[in-house]
Structure 1
Amino acid sequence: MSFMGEANFGENKENVAQKVQALVKQFDQITDQCVRFSQSASSAGGFEQSNFQRGGLRSTYDAERRKSLNIHRRSLNAANFQALNPDLDHVAQLGAQLRNAERDLEIRADLADSHAVFVLYKRISNRCEDLQEGKKMLLNAERAAQNHSVFEKRAQNCRRELDEKLISLQCRRNELQNLLDALRAFENHRAPMKEWLQKIQPTAEMVEISKDSSALDQLTAEYNRHYDDYMNLKKVTENLFKEFQFDDLKNLKSQWNEITEQWNGLTEIIIRTRKMQSPDIKTKQALCQCETWFKRQLTKLEFWNQNGFTVAEQKRIDDILEKSARLIATFRQNGDGIMASDSGRKSLETLEIQFDRISHLVRELRLKSPQSSPSAKCSASPTTSQTMSTRSTTICSSPQSETSSVNGAFVRVQFEPECLRDLLDCLRNYNRIKFSNYRTAMKVWAVQKRLNFDLIDLAHVDLLFRQLLLKNHGDLSIDEQFQILKPLFEKAHADFPTSIKDVRDAILKATELFKSLAMSNEARTIKMALSFLVNGNLDQKYRYIFGIYTENGEGTKEKMVEMFTDLAKFPRLVGEDSSRFGLKSAPCSTASLFKHVADSNGQLKVEHVTVDQFLEWTHLNPETLTWARSLHHLIRSEFSKHKNAKCAGCKMYPIVGLRFKCLHCFNVDMCQNCFFARKTIKGHKPEHELQEYYEKVGDCTVRREFLLGLGMLKSAYDRVRRQPTRSQILTTPTQRLGQTEDLSQAVACMLNLATEHSRI
């Protein structure tokens, strides 16, 4: 039996479910009808009104029976009971007939009901079979759908795995392609290099045996031409070993090691041959230093020969000749090794020529000396003597000195150590600076840079002092100073190898500087000098130096006098031992400091000061320490570029370093060189006040000065109207810089601010 057509059962899950639900509903309705019919059939013998009124075939039978009885009764009433005396027998017959007819009717009704029930039963059975078959097909369809979903999930997982494998294969393909490219690059660099090394090896061996200079030069030139190729091969090989790991890596390493051994062997041959043809490095350096020293002494002797010399300088002339003879004798003793090379031979010949010239000049100067020729006047001019006596740098290796009389004037001569002669000559060049604070700052800065103290940080110095547990009292020997300076300069040499080439020479110069500065080996002074000369913030240096001279963070007057006295040794070191910055200024500085602290606290007298109070006083830029603040500004302005300013003197644009802006003239800026030399500028007077800029001025500062200047210009104009002869205005809102004489100067100051604003 087919259920709704098996051929058409290829529908989706939703349609099948709907049809099954309809069949179940129809089955439930038929079942209810069967139940009601069975209940009616089971209660048919009673003829109760309630049973005949319930639905089904039985109710139809009851209605027909009632209808027949009513018709039969009406016929009886009309036919048999019209007479007044009815026949009772006939009535009984009629009752029997009626009962028979009723029984026949019931039998017929029962037969009709049985046939209907049988037909209904067959229909219900067929429907139940169809429903069961439909349920089976539905279960099969659901099972197929579940299998289909599982298959789809498996297909998705397989597809995902295939995609991942494809991506990994593509990545592997890219890696293999990169590896192939790297191997090709390695082979392209390796093959020519290997061929050249095999070709050049016999030539290098012949050069080493023959020691031919021309052949060595050719070999060196060939070596230099292939040096870049070797470095490229080295770079390619390092990248190959770093990025890739493969089975044939050991073979490549062996090939690279073979190339490296051949290259290093060639390098050693060239170096060994070159050493055999030239003196060693120390001898070469000694020759260069000696040649430089000879040139410098020749310059001095020629100057004295032309302009005259003093008695103290006559002693130096003898020292120059003695040292020159000793140096040339030393080189002549080692002449075999020096003469073996062309460069050594040429240097030695140059030294001998210079020594002959020195000997000749010394003989001429001895003839001009006062002892050999009393009438000869070989003293320097008064201007020269005064300049040398007042501006000479007092760097010395010992406190020894002598006093000589030249034309009735006494000149104090101090002996400089040989390692600081170049520094001494450099410091003399700064005597042209007209302002003492900038002159002192430039000289101290030159000492700092020439001795490489600017390459050492204050933090490293502090850490070293903590590790060595150095006390602030007592003396330090030369060996102890060497042990202190050695790690500092070694670290600076590691960080700046081109600036510090010889660590021992740098330490020697530093120890001589400390000896000249302290005139003793006192530990406190050496710590102060080292911490002040190294690289660091000025406030940090002041704070650290204050801690050296004080205990528990509080300084008394005696301690402050000692600190200011040692700080004043820096100006004395560079020849600026005047009353303004010299040792005599220490009591004045101490009095000013304690007076400022007392006024700030509202007291008449204080016994000690703290480091914060000391720093607050230094921010006021006291006169005795103006050189230190100027030094700080010079260091910070070393690489500063003022892009909106052009020097009115030398036309430098942009101004690099310190910038000085005139507060009276319109659009007049000066660089530090023109300012130090007090260069004359048209329309500008030397007495005009200047504003110093050690950093580039920000746009906000210029705008603020411009806006505040507008109000000042208005107030100045009002004062001129009230008092035309004289007006007093402030030229800048940020600092009290001076007073102007008339309204034209006030307008010029305002135009300066407007010019700055227009350059933004």
Structure 2
Amino acid sequence: MTQLFQSMADLSHVRFSAYRTAMKSRRLQKALCLDLLELSIAQSVFDQHKLTHNGQLLEIPGIINCLCTIYRELQQVHPDLVNVPLCVDLCLNWLLKVYDSDRSGKVQVLSMKIGLFSLSKGPLKDKYKYLFAQVAGAAGICNQRQLALLLHNSIQIPHQLGEAAAFGGRNMEPSVRSCFQNVGRDDVIELQQFVDWMHLEPQSMVWLPVLHRVAAAETAKHQAKCNICKECPMVGFRYRSLKHFNYNVCQMCFFSGRISKDHHLSYPMVEYCTPTTSGEDVRDFTKVLKNKFRSKKYFTKHPRLGYLPVQTILEEEHSET
């Protein structure tokens, strides 16, 4: 585990915290073999171990029993990839680092579920539904306190990676307020309202959808040349300018903030984690035509944020709510 976290030092060149956190999370996810864990299998194991009361504190033997069942299931499907004793040991170590900082030897069932669901395999929308279900009441609705509980448990993952400050710290109040303002009420939210808000990629949770895009981009190959380092084809993410025709930037150059003299950081770009379709090419061409005659001053005044911003709080400057 120590070697794993030390290996993440090579990601320090990634200037953007959401990508840096997602790439660290991806490395962690693969080391723990959680990228092989289907959401339905995880839920089935929790049910099998009668872990239905999310407020229950689970001691280390109980955590190990549950993890053993999970990894034995995975080993049956992926015998060459899953070393059960090693995976159980690593995952236990990680859960305690994230959710038992006081080293009490106990982890809340809710925390364990949210941690494993967050790094498991499956469509992003399904993951949002599973996460919401862990805190929602019997009527399938969620109040502000329950949402704060979900977000607080989720932010512990980037916090353990040393990245929480960029996502608003561990103070969940701004994010909760953002969600309820988005749906226009202050008492409860329903599942679909939560999913719609998550699709806006709120700042406190943006690392999770970016993690899914990082995973999708790992094997993507784009038949285009990077205008900065000249890599061709580009592997990973591809960034296409919506200001200049046929201007592309590879993942490495984008993450490190490299630009050429004729392209400004404020200019809009579109990200692709899979090869483009003809429809996307036409759509982007139309956008470039619109932006071609707009000035750098226009883009500086109209920045495009990929998430709902909340105030960034340094970890030492607040007390948890």
TM-score (norm 1): 0.37
Higher strand share: 2
Q: CA deviation at 1:625?
A: 1.7
Aligned counterparts of 2:168 and 2:219: Cα–Cα separation in 1: 28
Where 1:578 maps in the other structure, the secondary structure is helix
Secondary structure, counterpart of 1:583 in structure 2: coil
Counterpart-to-counterpart distance in 1, 2:257 and 2:288: 28
Alpha-carbon separation, structure 2, partners of 1:709 and 1:579: 31
Percent of aligned pairs with the same amino acid: 26
Q: Tell whether the 8 Å contact from 2:244 to 2:288 is kept in structure 1 after alignment.
A: no
User: Where does 1:330-729 land on structure 2 (aligned, <5 Å)?
Assistant: 420-471=1-52, 472-500=54-82, 502-519=83-100, 520-552=106-138, 553-578=140-165, 580-584=167-171, 586-598=172-184, 605-643=185-223, 645-706=224-285, 712=290
Looking at structure 2, the residues matched to 606 and 563 of structure 1 have their Cα atoms a distance apart, in angstroms, of: 17
Write the deviation string for residues 102-141 of structure 1: whole angstroms up to 9, x where unpaired. xxxxxxxxxxxxxxxxxxxxxxxxxxxxxxxxxxxxxxxx
Alpha-carbon separation, structure 1, partners of 2:245 and 2:58: 57
Q: Distance in 2 between matches of 1:534 and 1:701?
A: 29
The secondary structure found in structure 2 opposite 1:661 is strand
In 2, distance between residues paired with 1:430 and 1:726?
A: 30
**2:286, 2:210 → 1: CA distance?**
30
SS of equivalent to 1:660: strand
The aligned length equals: 296
Give the C-alpha shift of residue 700 in structure 1: 2.1
Displacement of 1:547:
0.6
Structure 1 pair 655–578 and aligned structure 2 pair: CA distance change class (3 A): same
Partner of residue 3, structure 1: none
Structure possessing the higher radius of gyration over alpha carbons: 1
* C-alpha contact 2:167 2:205 (8 A) present in aligned 1: no
> Cα deviation per residue 1:74-123 (whole Å; 9 max; x = unaligned)?
xxxxxxxxxxxxxxxxxxxxxxxxxxxxxxxxxxxxxxxxxxxxxxxxxx
Shift of 1:421: 1.1
Deviation at 1:550, TM superposition (A): 1.4
Unpaired runs of 5+ residues, structure 2, are: 101-105, 306-321
The equivalent residue for 1:121 is none
Mapped partners of 2:190, 2:40: distance in 1: 22
Deviation string 1:610-668 (CA, Å, 9 cap, x unpaired) is: 1110001111122222211211111121222222x212233222212111122334432
Give the SS at the match of 2:270. strand
Q: Would the aligned equivalents of 2:242 and 2:284 in 1 still touch at CA under 8 Å?
A: no
Query: What is the distance in 1 between the residues matched to 2:202 and 2:90?
Result: 31
Cα distance change of structure 1 residues 612 and 437 upon mapping to structure 2, 3 Å threshold: same
TM-score of the superposition, structure 2-length normalised?
0.84
Deviations along 1:54-75, whole A, 9 cap, x unmatched? xxxxxxxxxxxxxxxxxxxxxx
Which amino acid letter does the alignment assign opposite residue 15 of structure 2?
K
Counterpart CA distance in 2 for 1:683 and 1:726 is: 11
Cα displacement (A) at 1:541: 1.1
Give the secondary-structure state (helix, strand or coil) at the position aligned to 2:12.
helix
Structure 1 unpaired stretches of 5+: 1-419, 599-604, 730-735, 739-760
Question: 1: distance between equivalents of 2:167 and 2:134?
Answer: 24
Deviation at residue 671 of structure 1 after TM alignment: 1.6
RMSD of aligned residue pairs (Cα, Å): 2.5
| Other structure's SS at 1:650 match | coil
SS in structure 2 at match of 1:692: strand
What do residues 167-203 of structure 1 show as CA deviations (whole Å, max 9, x unaligned)?
xxxxxxxxxxxxxxxxxxxxxxxxxxxxxxxxxxxxx
Amino acid at match of 1:534: S
**TM-aligned CA distance change 1:684 to 1:485, over 3 Å:** same
User: For residues 255 and 193 of structure 2, what CA distance do their matches in structure 1 show?
Assistant: 33
Q: Distance in 1 between matches of 2:261 and 2:249?
A: 12
Cα deviation digits, residues 691-717 of structure 1 (max 9, x gap): 21112221123234445766x48xx87
Secondary structure of the equivalent of 1:670?
Answer: strand
Which residue in the other structure is 2:318 paired with?
Answer: none
Q: Contact 2:264 / 2:296 at 8 angstroms: preserved in 1?
A: no
The separation in 2 between residues aligned to 1:664 and 1:647, in whole angstroms, is 16
Structure 1 residues 706 and 688: CA distance shift in structure 2, 3 A: closer
The aligned counterpart of 2:316 is: none
Pairs within 5 Å for 1:263-274: none
2:143 partner amino acid: T
Distance 2:111 2:197 in 1: 22
Q: Distance in 2 between matches of 1:496 and 1:581?
A: 38
Question: How do 1:47-446 and structure 2 match up within 5 A?
Answer: 420-446=1-27
Q: 1:597: how far off?
A: 0.9
1:571 and 1:581 in contact (8 A); partners too: no
Partner residue, 1:150: none
- Paired amino acid for 2:202: P
Higher relative contact order (CA 8 A, sep 6+): 2
Q: 2:220, 2:273 within 8 Å by CA — same for their partners in 1? A: yes
